[in-house]
Amino acid sequence: MTIAAAEIKSCCASAYASPAARFLLGDRLHPGGAALTSVLAEALAVGPGKLVVDVASGSGASALQLARETGCDVIGVDLSPESVEAATLAAADQGVRVRFVVGDAEALPLADASVDGVLCECALCIFPDKAAAAREIARVLRSGARVALSDMTAERERLPAELTSLAAWVACVADARPLPEIANLLSDAGLHVERVEAQDEMLAALLDRVAARLSVARMTGSMSVAGAVDQGEQLVVAARAALDDGALGYGIVVARKP
């Protein structure tokens, strides 16, 4: 199935800024939640006086957490103006040194060698041009700085048809790549890969949580779009089966710019 890059970007930006996404996933739109964000923040090895960019920052929760835990300055970049606006308001309420800008991960609005770290959580899987995004991450990193990335992983040729649709792409499944391929994307961009870890249990926990919230939505009618609950439940069932079969998973990669 061929889907235009512009359509993918628009659908993903709109979906993750929607109330339905917040209902199903909370303010953390990725497996592992705040605990995994802390792990990635520690891997970046940054502190006060350093600048980190959160690529595909969404609601801003991880960027704000990163600033609080490390004391560094953070720039959040997201394609959705609605998400950037909401995150900016959250930063103002919390009084942390974080700013948010609208931008594309495949063409980051940052200068060469301008940041001391890159955080990217569960987003590479939805970027149409993953190699371009990896090159952009490498471009903006200063020498010796790291990217800490978490993402969906998949053996795409083993995924069932329901996990290759546009809806499945938006759900971070249809174009996910095997964990070694993700590491290779960063390596090919000129980064030295230091850490590669599977974290499939985090995806299992997220799927269980989403299934429970879909059940609540079915009982209460809190997701008003016709067929949304049915489609969501079908995706969760298919994703859980693919996870159990080893075709779907979750992992982290940490890499450093020489």
Pick from 63, 46, 32: which is nearest to 250 by CA?
32
pLDDT of residue 73: 97
Sheet with 51-55, side-by-side order of all strands: 98-102, 73-78, 51-55, 115-121, 141-154, 248-256, 192-198
Rounded alpha-carbon distances, angstroms, from residue 175 to 52, 72, 159: 26, 32, 10
Q: How far apart are CA 124 and CA 144, in angstroms?
A: 22
Burial of 63 (0-12, 13-18, 19+ CB in 10 A): buried
Torsion of Cα atoms, 230 then 31 then 86 then 147, to 10°: -140
- Residue 88, CB-side half-sphere exposure with 13 Å CA sphere: 12
User: For position 168, what pLDDT does the model report?
Assistant: 59
Q: What is d(CA 15, CA 82) in angstroms, rounded to the nearest whole number?
A: 11
Alpha-carbon distance of 37 to 16, in angstroms, equals: 18
Would strands 141-154 and 98-102 be described as parallel, antiparallel, or unpaired?
Answer: unpaired
List, for the chain, all residue ranges whose pLDDT scores fall below the cut of 50: 1-3, 7-8, 10-19, 21-25, 225-226
Identify which of 120, 115, 160, 162 has the alpha carbon closest to the alpha carbon of residue 140: 115
> What does the pLDDT look like over 93-126, one tens digit per residue?
998 889 999 999 999 999 999 999 999 999 999 8
Could you give the 3-state DSSP secondary structure of residue 114? Answer: coil
Q: So what's the pLDDT on residue 164? A: 74
Q: Check residue 232 and give its pLDDT.
A: 76
SS3 255: strand
The whole-number pLDDT of residue 169 equals: 54
Burial 219-242 (b: 16+ CB within 10 A, else e): eeeebeeeeebebbbebbebbbeb
Residues 6+ apart with CB under 8 A from 221: none
pLDDT of residue 137: 98
Q: Which residues pair with 193 in a beta bridge?
A: 255
Contact 107, 87 (CB under 8 A): no
54 and 137 in contact (C-beta within 8 Å)? no
Domains defined for the chain, CATH in brackets: 5-256 (3.40.50.150)
Question: What letter does residue 50 receive in the DSSP assignment?
Answer: -
